[in-house]
Copies of this chain bind each other. A is one copy, B any other.
Amino acid sequence: MQIIKNYVEENRQRFLDELFELLRFPSVSADPKYKDDMQKTADFVADKLIIAGADKVEICSTDGYPIVYGEKIIDSSLPTVLVYGHYDVQPPDPIELWKTPPFEPTLRDGKIYARGACDDKGQFYMHVKAFELMMKTNTLPCNIKFMIEGEEEVGSDNLGKFVSQNKSRLKADVVLISDTSMISMENPSIETGLRGLAYMEVEVSGPGKDLHSGVYGGAVANPATILCQMIASLHDDQNHITIPGFYDGVINLSEEERKALNDAPFDLEEYKKELSIDDVWGEVGYSTIERTGIRPTLEVNGIWGGYTGPGAKTVLPAKANAKISMRLVPGQDWKKISELFKNHFESLAPKSVKIKVTAHHGGTPYVTPTDSIAFKAAYRAIEESFGKEPVPTRGGGSIPIVALFEEELGIKTVLMGFGLDSDSLHSPNEKYDVFNYYKGIETIPLFHKYFAEMSK
């Protein structure tokens, strides 16, 4: 442990400078205009893996953005850890709400503010530095492989193909990912589950062109009004989702499991204060922790139609659109849910409008077995570096790739995240605490140590 602390101490500033360099690349995978920056980011990651001591580093091209691979095999008889991360980030908008530019990382009271600071550049880069640390201090206790992709924020469309085509190269005993959160640094936790995702886009179209709302209003279906009516009908008055079959197969937790989940430290007043809301909202019969952890949800991520400029335009819009995504829990299949949504949404449409429903992407829910060696190794590593036993939690987010690893490679994933829910992931002013960054770099080598030991 002392070797680790010393090395981190000696390289403190450089570790931070390198992360800042990485954060300056506007690697937004959702927006084609950042194509070149995506390539540059991949190059940067590859270079750092080589410098850290990785072999066979390769920027693997795909039909989309490239995947950076690298490995260090010290002894084929030792266990192998496959580290996954992603170098792409969410779009920065609404950009006007950022206190400092999203791609000009800024340090304020111990926090790094930048898009991707926590999700996931700050977190996957801890693994690159921890790897460097183990190599330079000759403490790497097992084989290690890196797979850092560039399409996680848009559904990892090309990763599945890559994984199935590279099964032998990716052969490992466990996947290790830092792309999730802890309750707090005082209350370390490990996420044991992730929700799945089904992301849809809908278009309601009426007349062939925008119409004068005075001349035609009241006699021609208004796509914006109809879209609102259709979206409103997707929740009932108890905030249950009304799509037929949506809850079929949902694996409900036992009373004990629910109790354990609700025992995690949580202050509702703090929660409301932090989000500046007067009241929470959600499915009747479930706590806030349950609503975001073990229950499926349906959210409008974006909606637009008609005139949205300054002043007033008396128009009846020709069409209206919305982006709607659903978070799924174990027992739900995202492809089936996407189909159910499509069929139901189309069935809601009156004859006076036309509907187009397209699926953006999806991901399967996942639950980590807490009795696995890998989970126990993560548990011990965190307990040692934090000096406190971590609490098992259920994460509300999704990492579509996790379930895929199990299907394609037949291995489990451990979610050892060091972020905080307050890190504003996907929001303006995303941040990552410098403390968490170094803490992660110190904890990761311990995971490898215990995983190697317990695998003997």
Q: Which A residues are closer than 8 A to B by beta carbons?
A: 29-32, 90-91, 93-94, 97, 153-155, 181, 195, 197, 199, 201, 206-222, 224-225, 227-229, 231-233, 235, 275-283, 288, 291-292, 295-297, 299-317, 320-323, 325, 327, 350-354, 360-361, 395-398, 421, 424-429
Contacts and interface: CB of A to CB of B under 8 A. Distances in A.
Given A210-B427, A351-B278, A225 B421 contact: no
> Which residue among A215, A218, A313, A352 has the maximum number of chain B CB atoms within 10 Å of its CB?
A218
Contacts of A32: 310
Contacts of A297: 213, 217-218
A295 B217 CA distance: 10
B312 A281 contact: no
B31 A309 contact: yes
B275 A224 contact: no
B429 A295 contact: no
Given A206-B277, A292-B217, A300 B225 contact: yes
Grouping DSSP codes into helix (H, G, I), strand (E, B) and loop, the A interface class, with mixed when no group exceeds half, is loop
Given A314-B325, A361-B312, A299 B396 contact: no
Contacts of A199: 312, 314
A380 B291 CA distance: 71
A105 to B, nearest CB: 19
Given A209-B427, A232-B229, A275-B211, A219 B313 contact: no
Contacts of A352: 277-281
A279 B351 contact: yes
Q: How many copies does the complex hold?
A: 2
A272 B316 CA distance: 15
B210 A283 contact: no
A118 B77 CA distance: 82
Nearest to A311: B30
> Which residue among A199, A213, A224 has the maximum number of chain B CB atoms within 10 Å of its CB?
A213
A429 B209 contact: yes
Contact of A291 (B218, B225, B314): B218
Contacts of A316: 299, 301
A295 B218 contact: yes
Contact of A275 (B91, B216, B283, B398): B216
16 contacts: A31-B311, A97-B210, A153-B312, A155-B312, A209-B428, A213-B301, A213-B327, A214-B327, A215-B292, A215-B397, A218-B396, A225-B231, A225-B300, A232-B233, A313-B426, A314-B426
Nearest to A180: B215
Contacts of A428: 209-210
A426 B317 CA distance: 10
Given A218-B283, A220-B277, A317 B292 contact: no
B292 A320 contact: no
Nearest to A94: B210
Nearest to A351: B279
A219 B282 contact: yes
Contacts of A308: 302-304, 321, 323
Given A209-B97, A227-B228, A323-B306, A301 B275 contact: no
Nearest to A154: B311
Nearest to A195: B214
A260 B430 CA distance: 64
B315 A301 contact: yes
A313 B225 contact: no
Contacts of A315: 90, 301-302, 426-427
A179 to B, nearest CB: 11
Top 9 A-B pairs, shortest CB-CB distance? A218-B297, A30-B311, A214-B397, A221-B281, A302-B306, A232-B232, A208-B276, A224-B300, A228-B228
A299 B215 CA distance: 12
Contacts of A304: 303-305, 308
Given A32-B310, A218-B292, 17 more contacts: A97-B209, A154-B311, A211-B275, A213-B301, A213-B327, A214-B397, A216-B292, A217-B292, A217-B299, A218-B282, A218-B283, A219-B281, A225-B300, A227-B228, A228-B300, A303-B304, A313-B426
